[in-house]
Copies of this chain bind each other. A is one copy, B any other.
Amino acid sequence: MDMTLWNLFEILGTGAFAASGALMGIRKRFDFFGVLMLALITAVGGGILRDGLMGNLPPLALRFPRYSLLALVTAAAVFLSPRPVQRLERLIQVLDAVGLGAFTAGGGLLAIQRGFGEPFMVVAFGLLTGVGGGILRDVLAGEPPLVFRREIYALASIAGALLLLPLNRRMGVEAALYACFALVVSLRLFCVLRGIHLPVARKG
């Protein structure tokens, strides 16, 4: 299985997640170290939560620190010149969707491969990998988690993760990975472009 393209998706997604964490840290007046840490946690925090709940320890992000280092370098670059990154908001939103898709598919498939292949667990681990880092970012920044408040973000992740089990069984790992990825990314971008949101309850 040729993973070059897949690695590219993971790299783009890691960079986008790290950039969103770094921008949040800058907005909150964190110092250089704080910005780096928030970016790191945003980028690899979902995978760390997933590995923690899987008992896959130490987490991959510590054992194979490539993506952690990428997140730190990205954060340093954003810290040094945040303005151009902020101007690329639309591009970052696209790359963020790529990250959501790649992390969801990778996390869900890891669950299957480690023997946690019940549907509920596959979806839970895919979702946690996809949105966990952003939740940690928001909690550490003192913000209500964005994923609980706005737009079709987590639902895109869940919809994609639901594809993993049946496709993996019938068409193999690679097809499952890319189909899940494609569904998450396209659902997410479709809802961003159309401004589609979930309803909020009447305030009780």
A residues with CB within 8 A of B: 23, 25-35, 37-38, 48, 52-55, 57-59, 62-63, 65, 68-69, 79-80, 82-83, 85-86, 116, 118, 120-121, 124-125, 135, 139-145, 147-150, 154-155, 197-204
Q: Are A63 and B118 in contact (CB under 8 A)?
A: yes
Copies of this chain, complex-wide, total 3
A-B contact pairs, 30 of them (CB 8 A): A26-B204, A27-B203, A29-B149, A29-B200, A31-B149, A31-B198, A31-B200, A32-B198, A32-B200, A33-B148, A33-B154, A34-B148, A35-B148, A37-B154, A38-B148, A53-B58, A53-B59, A53-B62, A54-B58, A62-B116, A63-B121, A65-B118, A65-B120, A68-B120, A86-B204, A139-B139, A139-B140, A140-B144, A141-B144, A142-B144
